[in-house]
Amino acid sequence: MPADVKLAGLQRDFAAFLLRGDPAVAAALRPDLPAGRLAVYRNTVMGSLAAVLGHAYPTLCRALGEECFTTLACRFAAEAPPRLPMLWSYGAGFADWLDDCSLTEGLPPWVPDLARLDWAMHEALFAADAEPLDLARLAAIPPEQAGSLRLVPHPSLQLVRSGWTIHALWKDGGTVPLPVQEAVLVGRSPVDEDGCSGGGEVRCARLTAADGALACRLLAGATLDEAAGDETAAGADLQSLLALLLQNRLIAGFALDRPPSVTRPAVIRPEGIDP
């Protein structure tokens, strides 16, 4: 057997042992070593991957407890090891995995959604940056064309919709989630040139189910009129949602279905909303 083929096989077997810990594989790799000697390497690898997931899912780790979270994280790492040489990107499929994993039987049903909120905040932290929308450009849009606006969201902006009050659990820690539909808007505030306090911070804001449906349509590219006319967004507050997005500088631009006219401009004055 060529040396490179033999080496590749050895590497595959060693990787398989690190992920699954099969004693038979360990014995085949180094029959001369005492049982358990190779387990040192496996413990290091699995512990490191569990720690990476713990940093990406801090709220879930806190809610479940470190021991329970580590058990789930190690199982996930064994079934879905990293595929890219960038550990900050590892763990994207954890929430979907939690939906299907047999180990989650007996765990609260809100666990996967809380994981999605954690991951949305994690992705927002590492998302590309973009200049926020200049409000003067928005104010120059004629009133009759305002409904044709399509928003261009900041790259960090994400929406997590849930059937549980996961925002309260993220915010208050010990709060028990209730079976109430809501949405959580997640985004990273731009960093100003003067490095003002709060720049680059990932924030999240709770939305009602109706406002979440409205935000979902807007972020998917619907015009303001299309989003507001959606039946699922009945009762939503478009003005407040736009104020929230603009105040937190989470809109990077806009597009118009129709070319702008020369009539008098609309003036949009967002009211302050604490996210």
Tens digits of per-residue pLDDT, 34-61? 667 777 888 898 999 999 999 999 999 9
Element (DSSP H or E) covering residue 154: none
Tell me, what's the pLDDT at 272? 35
CB atoms within 10 A of CB 189: 20
Share of the chain above pLDDT 70, in %: 83
Higher pLDDT residue, 236 or 273?
Answer: 236
CA angle 270, 272, 273 (to 5 degrees): 110
Question: Quick one: average pLDDT of 66-75?
Answer: 94
Q: How far apart are CA 48 and CA 18, in angstroms?
A: 12
**Closest Cα to residue 126, out of 191, 61, 202, 192?**
202
Q: How far apart are CA 256 and CA 259, in angstroms?
A: 7
Residue 265 CB burial class (10 angstroms; 0-12, 13-18, ≥19): middle
Tell me, what's the pLDDT at 81? 92
Q: What is the mean pLDDT of the chain?
A: 85
Question: Quick one: average pLDDT of 63-91?
Answer: 93
| Of the candidate ranges 44-53, 72-81, 135-144, 262-271, the one whose mean pLDDT is the lowest | 262-271
Share of the chain above pLDDT 90, in %: 63
| Of the candidate ranges 7-21, 109-123, 137-151, 181-195, the one whose mean pLDDT is the lowest | 7-21
Tell me, what's the pLDDT at 258? 52
pLDDT digits (tens, 9 = 90+) for 213-249: 999 999 999 999 999 999 989 999 999 999 999 999 9
Residue 51 token pair: 């720690």
